[in-house]
Structure 1
Amino acid sequence: MTGRYDETEGRGPEEPVVVRDRRRIDPQTGEIRPAAPAAEPQDGPKHAAPTEDTVEPVPPAAQTEPEPATHAGPGLGESIVDESVSVASGLEKELAERTADLQRLQAEYANYRKRVDRDREQVVAGAKASVVGDLLPLLDDLERAEQHGDLTGAFKAVGEKLVGSLQRSGLEPFGTEGEPFDPSVHEAVQHSTSPDVTGPTVTMVMRRGYRFGDRVLRAALVGVTDHEPGGATTEPIDQPVGGELPLEGELFDENNR
């Protein structure tokens, strides 16, 4: 007996075979098919045997559509570039400020060191000058003893060592006869004139002066001779006759000639 119905036997026509392609991915294009609405069951056998084209439903996990890759548009890229440029410029500006601060601190420290060294040198020079100033009366006594011939023997050797040590430390005597008069280092206590000099000249030294470095410890006491310009010659006054003195009027006339 066949599965076909014979019309001659009074049976209905044979039911056509319906094949439904339930694959989610189109085998030709490779794209995901949209979900089809559930079809109403048609008349036919409830338990139809699966055919070759029948595909088992895909599990829910496999039905998830892949998310399309997001690509940054031109606006987003430009904003990122602008932000990077602004950050770089800000870093360069901050670096320049820090460099300027460092250079200013270095200059201030260098000036501070120079000022400290200069102050230290001034303090040392002032201390030495104070000690040497206290020894000046002793040097005057040694000079007077030498002028009178009393600086002899061991006393002379000690005096020479003392004077040499002070001169090596920076002590310098000044005030000798014949040098030009300088009011900043000479103290004039005597004045005279002479045609033999061309200007104010030291012709007598009463006390020697001393300087220590660029500091004058004591001015020299000197006598100064200034130049005497040549004046007009005057006629001699007539000598009185017979030992008589001229009258007061005659003397006045003679002086006014």
Structure 2
Amino acid sequence: MSRADDENDGQATERVVIRDRRKIDVKGKDTTVTKEAEESQETRGGAHRAAEEPEDETIPTPGLGAELEALRTELEERTRDLQRVTAEYANYRKRVDRDRSAAAEQTTGAVLTALLPVLDDIDRAREHGDLVGPFAAVAESLGAVVGKLGLVAFGEKGDPFDPTRHEAVAHLTSADVTEPSCVEVMRRGYTLGERLLRPAMVAVADPE
């Protein structure tokens, strides 16, 4: 074989290799498939296979509904327990506050009740005109203090007689009144808030 034949064989071999890469179909047409086209086909093929494959179905767990219902029932019970405890605590706080206020008022009332004879002496001194000088200043200061503590005096001449607030030590008739009235006050009464510390001592006149 000559050198020319060898060259021709090499070229023929090279052409065959090249044409094999280009994938010649049976009719001799060039059907070169690029890398991008192959990847696109593979992607479409994978998507098609994925579409054909059935999705996993969710299999219901036996007894799950009953467990959820039990949890819901327990939650409702705990909620009711919490509401009941909250209401009981609120009532407890109210009761404690009420008892504390009552205890403070009772203590204050006891102190003020002990001071009532002193206030009676001051009233008698005022009626006789003896409330002058430093004694008058002390009396005013004491009156201001007991007033801040809630002590209120009552019992004036001409007030309608109230057996729940007045202690009648004398009775008479008078044409000047249309109902039982206090015509004389021997000793004033005192209240602390809604509590009666001492009734007023009065003389009562009934209509004729």
TM-score (norm 1): 0.57
For the pair 1:199 / 2:199, whether they are aligned, the reply is: no
d(CA) in 2 for partners of 1:150, 1:202:
26
Deviation at 1:195, TM superposition (A): 2.3
Deviation at 1:117, TM superposition (A): 0.6
For the pair 1:155 / 2:135, whether they are aligned, the reply is: yes
Structure 1 residue identity aligned to 2:118: L
Match of 1:213 among 193, 198, 207: 193
SS in 2 for 1:172: strand
d(CA) in 2 for partners of 1:139, 1:86:
78
Q: How does 1:128-139 map to 2 (within 5 A)?
A: 128-139=108-119
Deviation at 1:146, TM superposition (A): 1.1
d(CA) in 1 for partners of 2:134, 2:68:
84
Match of 1:97 among 77, 101, 108: 77
Structure 1 residue identity aligned to 2:158: G
Give the equivalent residue in structure 2 for 1:171: 151
Higher helix residue share: 2
Match of 1:146 among 106, 121, 126: 126
Deviation at 1:140, TM superposition (A): 0.6
d(CA) in 2 for partners of 1:159, 1:172:
15
Structure 2 residue identity aligned to 1:127: T
For the pair 1:188 / 2:174, whether they are aligned, the reply is: no
Q: Which consecutive residues of structure 2, in runs of 5 or more, have no partner in the other structure? A: 1-56
Deviation at 1:135, TM superposition (A): 0.3
d(CA) in 2 for partners of 1:91, 1:219:
65
Match of 2:203 among 198, 201, 223: 223
Bigger relative CO (Cα 8 Å, ≥ 6 apart): 2
d(CA) in 1 for partners of 2:117, 2:87:
47
Give the equivalent residue in structure 2 for 1:25: none
> Is the radius of gyration larger for structure 1 or structure 2?
1
d(CA) in 1 for partners of 2:130, 2:178:
37
TM-score (norm 2): 0.70
Size of the alignment, in residue pairs? 153
Give the equivalent residue in structure 1 for 2:98: 118
Q: Which consecutive residues of structure 1, in runs of 5 or more, have no partner in the other structure? A: 1-72, 229-257
Give the equivalent residue in structure 1 for 2:17: none
d(CA) in 1 for partners of 2:179, 2:126:
31
SS in 2 for 1:135: helix
SS in 1 for 2:85: helix
SS in 1 for 2:178: coil
d(CA) in 2 for partners of 1:188, 1:154:
35
d(CA) in 2 for partners of 1:95, 1:225:
72
